[in-house]
Amino acid sequence: MPELPEVEIIKNGILSIENKIIKNFYSSNKKLRVTTSIKYDKVLNAKIISIKRISKFIIIELVNSDKYYLICHLGMTGKITLKADFNALKHDHFALEFDDIWLIFNDQRRFGFVEIIKDLTTYKFIQGLGPEPLSEVFNYEYLKNKLKTISKNIKTSLMDNKLVVGVGNIYANESLFDAGISPLKPANKLKKEEIITLLNSVKKIIKNAIELGGSSIKDYVNSDGKKGGFQKTFKVYGKADIKCVNCDEKIVRIVQNQRSTFYCKTCQK
């Protein structure tokens, strides 16, 4: 479910647990995508020092007699919510109790995970990640040099975290429509102007999505359990057979790398 905007919003929504002490925890013991090697009970009595987002990972720094990082990834259907009390519902896999509030990790499909690690700098999942889309590092020079080495289609490339992090299926589709570039175009065939346009479109779409509270297709909610608003601005995502907003063509759906791609054959070349 969550791409960068949704994860950013969730991260911001749980900042209120900073400085709180973990009194207790809950684990469903169900198998998630990653099994934590350091046991969950190590977090007991720890204080939350900071909460950050790197790519689609939420990184909670905590300290008791030791120092740890609690890593959360939401996969496709993960949610993190804050609630005054806690009764484990279906698909609740992990929860932390503080004095006055619970933080609850729920994930229907279990493509996400909650893991405890000691060393963030050597953490394997953040090694080799590309730049954040809204960072200065994600610029024309960078993108030009990267794209010229990639022969597969630009849409699949945009979703590759080695190129740029956080751009999932929705925002890849919407960015390409905004830029007027066909998702089928080989990445190394983009011209200078197209690269510049695409760069600006990705940044614009991601930024707008954050401002509008993210996108809710089925079940995305923020940490207060509220839906986002960006889905109301979708121009192509999920719009198969619906007329393009810019021309008379109907939006088509195709499949690339087992994922749905939506685009306008007239507006995107």
Q: How far is the CB of 110 from DNA (least distance, A)?
A: 5
| The two three-digit tokens of residue 153, written as one number | 């289609």
Total residues at interface with DNA (CB under 7 A): 41
From candidates 20, 56, 155, 235, binder to DNA by CB under 7 A: 56
User: What CA–CA distance (Å, rounded) separates 113 from 37?
Assistant: 12
Q: Among residues 42, 56, 155, 239, which one is catalytic?
A: 56
Residue 211 catalytic? no
From candidates 86, 125, 142, 234, binder to DNA by CB under 7 A: 125
**Whole-angstrom distance between the N-terminal and C-terminal Cα of the chain?**
28
Q: Is 119 exposed, middle or buried (0-12, 13-18, 19+ CB in 10 A)?
A: exposed
CB distance 1 to 217 below 8 Å: yes
Short-list 238, 173, 236, CA closest to 206: 173
Name the segment binding DNA (CB under 7 A); options: 11-19, 46-54, 94-102, 164-172. Answer: 164-172
* Contacts to DNA from residues 175-204, by CB under 7 A: 187
Residue 259 catalytic? yes
Residue 3 catalytic? yes
What is each CA distance from 82 to 172, 199, 238, 241, in whole angstroms?
30, 35, 30, 39
Name the segment binding DNA (CB under 7 A); options: 21-29, 133-141, 194-202, 256-264. Answer: 256-264
Work out whether 266 is an interface residue with DNA (CB under 7 A).
no
* Contacts to DNA from residues 9-38, by CB under 7 A: 31, 33
Question: Among all residues, which ones are annotated catalytic?
Answer: 2-3, 56, 259
